[in-house]
Amino acid sequence: MTDQKLQIIPLGGLGEFGMNMTAIRYADDIVVIDSGMMFPEAELLGVDLVMPDLTFLKENQAFIRALVLTHGHEDHIGAVPYFLSEIDVPVYGTDFTLALVDRRLEEYELEEEPRFIRIKPKQIVDIGPFKIEFIHVTHSIVSAVALAIMTPLGVIIHTGDFKVDPTPTDNELFDLHTLAEYGKRGVLLLLSDSTNSDRPGYTESERAVRPRMEEIFSRSERRVVVSCFSSSIHRIQLVLDLAQEYNRRVAVFGRSMVTVTEIAHSLGLLNIPDGILVRPQDAMDMPPDKVTILISGTQGEPMSALARVAVDNHKHVSVEAGDTVVLSSRIIPGNEKAIFRMIDHMARRGADVMYGTMNPPLHVSGHASVEEMKLILNLVRPRYFMPIHGEFRQLSKHARLAEHLRFAGLEQSFVMESGDILEIDHHGARKAGKVPVGRVCIDSGSVDEVVQEVVIRDRRHLSEDGIVLPIIAINRHTGRIENLPEIVSRGFALAEDGSQFMQTARQIVAKTLESSNQEEKTDWGVMKEKIRADLKRYIVKETSRRPLIMPVILEV
């Protein structure tokens, strides 16, 4: 038996939604699974994307053999450009997943050409000491795979994101047979998706959406506007099929929607009936009962196509009284305000907006519920179990579920958080310390796109307490101030110009200048610091507020 240790190191995606990334290490070889991003919470002001911190991977760059992708959702591939700009290794994934990554990479200038290795389900590849088999799973995006990673110590099964859909719309069934085969032969560790571990029963099949959509198409007398996640190829196919059935043409709006439909069509994953598409600029000229609009922007993102349509600010399309708008997606927690504001705008225009839970459903989840999780646990019967993908409460629920099943062979469940190391050797498995993890905030459009923690803190400070600019004009010959300093404020009410508070504030700045010696007056850095300190003391005492104070000294 070897003395080498096997380490499983989640670098993101545990205890949070998004940023899914896991490193698997055996001796001096590391394979990384997924490299995802997450959208920022409201308190990360001005930040566009959040990526995992790659410190651990950069420190061990020489040992990384490959990046393996399970599917093409942003929370699994969004950070790939950032990853490849730092670490140049081959990237394994299905055709569709790699095509989505390639499209993302167009926005970045990488020094090295990415090395894509396209794989198909049932294929086995050798990467260092690992053999990896790709296993087809059903999910809300096409071409999703689970991984069977054969290591010198045993097999690790990584499910990726999945649900067990018995009737997928593309008839590509979940390959439960292969999972069961591994289960029979013995599995060392199972890493399984926990997103819906708080939902009892089964997740409905993608086909469950058809009856509700059919009903909408059959009764709508005017335009039907459907918004869904651009990666939901099954849902886009359904809209195209129903449009053909009900003799409607389809116009596609939104950059992500156009991109993904083009990719899926070129790979034969989306069947677009001949002559059904119409140019976006012609959609409004057609009879309203003869057109369907397929549009991105389900989450009310400020500049998305649907958000612009809602406020009548789109150059090609608008929503009018009697139109039916369908949000065929879930409301991602944190986006409620933006989405409901967008729905309100469309309702004001007289549109019938359909959203939320109804029966039959407008949207079904792409993640397994409790009964499907039990099925996977019972088929795989791992020796050790580590729930992945979800917030802490979901991970711990999934772990408890495994322990309740009490199937033979399960020795222990590990509820881990990003950065924890799970170490396995022939003595057993244990938590073994931590590696540095964290988040990198990206503000796209800024010079240095990575936003430091201090910048976010300053933005929060400004949003809460505002900014005060004392402006002092100093005669360059005499070193004297020409007149009483001016004070400009934003986001902080300093009262009227003539008010006692304002007058005193100006006098305090003047007094600070007068009481300084000649040497201090010639060092403006010192003068600015003294003004800031004295004015801050006065403002805090009078108002209990702490605005950002930035003295400006002008030579005249």
Q: Which residues are catalytic?
A: 193, 367
Side chain identity at residue 134, one-letter code: F
| Residue 55 CA: distances (Å) to CA of 170, 419, 439 | 40, 11, 10
SS3 246: coil
The torsion of the CA quartet 453, 454, 458, 463, rounded to 10 degrees, works out to: 10
> Tokens 């800024």, residue?
446
Helices H / strands E in the chain, number of each? 16, 27
Rounded CA-CA distance 10/19 in Å is 10
Beta pairing, strands 324-327 & 144-151: unpaired
Determine phi and psi for 216, rounding to 5 degrees. Answer: -65, -45
Which residues, 6+ apart, have CB-to-CB distance to 432 below 8 Å?
7, 421, 422, 423
What crossing angle do the helices spanning 255-266 and 233-245 adopt, rounded to 10°?
A: 90
**297's tokens:** 């922007």
Report the candidate in 413, 382, 16 with the shortest Cα–Cα distance to residue 195: 16
Instruction: Compute the residue count for the chain.
Output: 556
Instruction: State how far Cα 298 lies from the chain centre.
Output: 14
Cα three-residue angle 72-73-74, rounded to 5 degrees: 115
Report the candidate in 117, 10, 22, 39 with the shortest Cα–Cα distance to residue 304: 39
Which neighbouring-strand residues pair with 149?
132, 156
- What DSSP string describes 152-188? TTEEEEE--S-B--SS-TT-----HHHHHHHHHH-EE
SS3 385: strand
The torsion of the CA quartet 313, 318, 324, 325, rounded to 10 degrees, works out to: -30
What stretch of H or E contains 36?
Answer: none
Q: Is 479 left (phi over 0), alpha (psi -120 to 50) or beta?
A: left
